[in-house]
Amino acid sequence: MRYFIKLAYNGTNYHGWQYQPNAASVQETLNKAVSVILNTEISLMGAGRTDTGVHATEMYAHFDFEKPFDLKSIIHKLNSYLPKDIVVYAIIPVPDEAHARFDAKKRTYEYHINTFKDAFLQDGSWYFHQKLDLDLMNQASKLLFNHIDFQCFSKVNTDVNTFDCTIFEAHWTQENNQIVFTISANRFLRNMVRAIVGTLVNVGLHKITLDDFNEIIKSKNRDKAGFSVPAHGLYLTKIEYDYL
């Protein structure tokens, strides 16, 4: 049978989701835990990759296992075995052909900025004290809907067949000292969200205009876009499937 695992993790201590030799990853840590608890070698396929230091409040992965087992018991054992920065919320039986990565229809990320230095938010929010024009940044965010090719925000030398993404949502909100950028799309390129945020911050600082932002996207040139904001402010918050 095939199962989906719904989980979350604080990415501070990991070199991203994807397995890497000689570096701790969420995938490797979870593989080991599930293999120990089920007493057989298990290899999980994640819904996508997150970079070093990026967090996930909702992540899915799938694995296959022949024998039936008590879901609640296994979830409890996994959470007892796993380190404190990874938590399993659910294990869900799915059809054999279900795929955590290829079946995902929509992914949502949030980027968190803290405008006041807070000792308790250093690992989960980017401290940025300069004044940002959020109204202008929201106007620029709307321009993303006019495009599908986002090569300018992609990490260079990335092995992909297309730079096309369909963006469904992109906006900024602020509550007290917390500023949050929310963006949803059918897929994301490597480093895409962090590059978009960095470029929008330049809009908010009045370093570039709305026309400049639009021309950057049309250029398909990463060198023309803004800096990549730090990874520790980025969260994968939601992955949507037709059957979940």
- Enumerate the active-site residues: 51
Helix/strand/coil (H/E/C) assignment for every residue in the chain: CEEEEEEEECHHHCCCCCCECCECCHHHHHHHHHHHHHCCCCCCEECCCCCCCCEEEEEEEEEECCCCCCHHHHHHHHHHHCCCCEEEEEEEEECCCCCCCCCCCEEEEEEEEECCCCCCCCCCCEECCCCCCHHHHHHHHHHHHHCCECHHHCCCCCCCCCCECCEEEEEEEEECCEEEEEEEECCCCCCHHHHHHHHHHHHHCCCCCHHHHHHHHHHCCHHHCCCCCCHHHEEEEEEECCCC
**Cα angle, residue 103 at apex, residues 93 and 195 outer, rounded to 5°:** 125
Phi, psi for residue 14 in degrees, rounded to 5? -125, 150
Answer yes or no: are the C-beta atoms of 14 and 24 closer than 8 Å. Answer: yes
d(CA 43, CA 107): 23
